[in-house]
Amino acid sequence: MPQRCMIFVRIMREAREREMHELSLMTDAVGLVVADAARRSITKVTRIEMRVGELSGALPHALREAFPIAAQGTPAEGATLVIDEVKAEVRCKKCLRVFNPTSDGWSCPGCGSYDAEILSGTELHVVSYTGEEKECLSK
């Protein structure tokens, strides 16, 4: 029984660390957009588009939850966040077969090798954003 209790506590802490991780990633992304918007005299950001890979270490749903907190009080507050989720794709170094690794493992469906290089799925960045200039708002 005491062991079971210890496991429960550990999971709780991991969940909290994960939320913190996505919030700090989202704060960075919003900061980048807001800084760029300021240089272009954009006073209101209405939409932010991000690309998030399966292997990026960030969970799209956690990023979506973190976004309103990260954007609060910035010109990006109330903006729409669009996340383009990129599937993981790897190439087997032995037989050069390209496949999507599953959570079960990275074993090549062609030859069974575990030696593969990542082709996509690690991306995590802002692709674009849409905003309104001060002049447009006053017109």
Which residues are at the interface with Zn ion (CB under 5 A)?
92, 94-95, 97, 108, 110-111, 113
Question: What per-residue string of b and e applies to 93-114 under the rule 16 or more CB within 10 Å gives b?
Answer: eeeeeebebeeeebebeeeeee
Minimum gap (Å) between residue 100 Cβ and Zn ion: 13
Q: Which is nearer to Zn ion, 111 or 119 (CB)?
A: 111
Minimum gap (Å) between residue 35 Cβ and Zn ion: 44
Q: Which is nearer to Zn ion, 57 or 110 (CB)?
A: 110
- The CA distance from 93 to 113, in Å, is 8
Q: Which is nearer to Zn ion, 45 or 92 (CB)?
A: 92
Please answer whether residues 89 and 119 qualify as being in contact, where contact means their C-beta atoms are separated by less than 8 angstroms: yes
Minimum gap (Å) between residue 53 Cβ and Zn ion: 22
Structure tokens at 128: 């674009």
